[in-house]
Amino acid sequence: MHKEPNRCTIDVSGVGYGVLISLGTYGTLPDAGSEVSLPVHTYVREDQLVLFGFASAEERTLFLKLISISGVGPKTAMAILSGLPPHDLVQAIAGGDVAKLSTVPGVGKKTAERMVVELKDSIGRDVKIASASAGRGRVDSIKEDALSALLNLGYQRAVAENVLKKSEWTENITVEEALRSALRELCRA
């Protein structure tokens, strides 16, 4: 297996399959070369066949819910899952928090309102997220993953390391949170 922040390549009996993933899923993947098992959704259209991979069956169910909304395609759904951890996304939809949903790049107010209207009643019972701390690991590992993600996005090592030093590191921080914070800081510069 080879991984990047938005995709991974999985070797299945000598055949490499490119799988698009969210930042949250990226944070849960083991080191390159390790064995991995991912729930996958195969998206088929006339002109394309794309594999989407998820850290859990619950994340896959959430993805399927999102693409059922008019105007939300699979790439937007992955951007949403990258912008908000599944637990936070479920809470935002169930609580009708349009402002929080609108903070995700590519999601405007109308799309956020549509998400709430179409999913609010069913999201809590259909998508069970174990806990807000799922997928969290050691701070050193999170720092390494965030640094790797920034390098894969094309930032120079010195710039990436400097911005990560400025980040606030807690035991409960996730890769998504660290990367989001670093990207916000880089956008300000």
- Is 2's pLDDT higher than 90? no
| Residues 99 and 146 both lie in one domain | no
- Is 189's pLDDT higher than 70? no
Which residues make beta-bridge pairs with 21?
A: none
Encode pLDDT of 6-18 as tens digits.
Answer: 999 998 888 999 9
What CATH number has the domain bearing residue 92? Answer: 1.10.150.20
| Residues 25 and 6 both lie in one domain | yes
Give the residue with greater pLDDT, 129 vs 23. 23
The whole domain housing 43 covers: 2-53
| Residues 111 and 162 both lie in one domain | no
Would you state the torsion angle of the CA atoms of residues 140, 142, 144, 147, taken in this order, to the nearest 10 degrees? -130
Q: For residue 152, what pLDDT band results from cuts at 50, 70 and 90?
A: confident
Buried b (16+ CB within 10 A) or exposed e, 42-74: ebeeeeeeebbbbbbebbbbbbbbbbebeebeb
Encode pLDDT of 93-146 as tens digits.
Answer: 988 999 999 998 889 999 999 999 999 887 766 665 543 334 433 566 677 778
Give the residue with greater pLDDT, 186 vs 100. 100
Number of domains in the chain: 3
Query: What value does the mean pLDDT of the chain take?
Result: 83
Query: Is 132 contained in some domain?
Result: no
Query: Is 134 contained in some domain?
Result: no
What value does the mean pLDDT take over residues 49-76? 91
**Which pLDDT belongs to residue 36?**
84
